[in-house]
């Protein structure tokens, strides 16, 4: 009687397979945005780590989310796109062709959106740091206070993968979710885009509020409104 077994695949082999697949895909899709992990941590910034810890805190995900850690560490997330209410990824698995992952995130309702905008108003110095890729601890309340709750709950996350895994959350979906934490390291504004909060509008309103307040204290009145198209020139967006 013969027994089948799975050959152990080293980390180096997994990374080499992912790189080979990425190089091949890039010839057809040059706009790919892979997630590359350097070092042991999946995220370096406090907000990227907070995203990952939040995912791990959900009982529904506890036994499943960890399955994606090795995948994202081995650079198996060959492409990750974050847009309003949606995350799309290509994740290299055991097959030659990468799996297609789609994750939909419910957008924030109007009431909560207004509360977030009010919290951020007149914090233009903090928003400048945000544009430069630094999420100030001053805005940590957006994630720690359930009133604002920028992090999506399990009920707000819906996903699908082209792999044959029957599990509710496969390792490819888990890898994509961990990849979001890494991507947010360098572009925290994606937090707002994912939950359907217009970051340019947020910055514009905050600037107007601060200018109005300064002029009011100086005994002057202003009716100036900053056009959204001026935001890129002011902040280099």
* Domain residue extents for the chain: 9-108+152-196, 109-149+198-237
Alpha helices per DSSP H over 29-99: 46-57, 69-73
Angle, alpha carbons 181-121-190 (nearest 5°): 20
Residues in the chain with pLDDT values less than 50: 1-2, 224, 226, 231-232, 234-237
Distance, CA of 208 to chain centre: 28
pLDDT in tens, 118-128: 777 656 556 56
pLDDT at 11: 74
pLDDT at 215: 57
The pTM score is 0.78
The Cα-based distances of 223 to 123, 206, 208, 215, 220 in angstroms read: 20, 15, 9, 10, 10
pLDDT at 1: 46
pLDDT at 229: 56
């Amino acid at each position: 009687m013969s027994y089948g077994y799975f050959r152990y695949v080293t980390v180096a082999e997994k990374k080499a397979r992912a790189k080979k697949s990425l190089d091949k895909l890039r010839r057809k899709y040059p706009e790919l945005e892979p997630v590359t992990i350097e070092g042991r941590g999946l995220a370096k910034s406090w907000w990227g780590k907070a995203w990952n810890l939040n995912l791990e805190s959900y009982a529904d995900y506890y036994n499943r989310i960890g399955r994606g850690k090795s995948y994202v560490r081995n650079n198996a997330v060959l492409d990750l796109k974050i847009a309003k209410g949606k995350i799309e990824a290509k994740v290299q698995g055991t097959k030659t062709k990468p799996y297609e992952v789609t994750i939909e995130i419910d957008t924030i309702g109007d009431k909560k959106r207004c509360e977030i905008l009010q919290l951020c108003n007149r914090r233009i110095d903090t928003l400048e740091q945000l544009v430069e890729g630094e999420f100030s601890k001053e805005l940590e309340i957006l994630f720690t206070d359930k009133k604002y709750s920028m992090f999506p709950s399990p009920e707000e996350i819906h996903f699908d993968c082209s792999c044959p895994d029957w599990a509710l959350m496969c390792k490819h979906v888990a890898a994509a979710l961990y990849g979001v934490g890494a991507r947010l390291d360098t572009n925290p504004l994606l937090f707002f885009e994912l939950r359907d909060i217009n970051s340019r509008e947020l910055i514009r309103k905050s600037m107007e509020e601060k200018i109005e307040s300064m002029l009011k204290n100086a005994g002057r009145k202003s009716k100036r409104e900053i056009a959204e198209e001026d935001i890129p020139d002011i902040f280099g967006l």
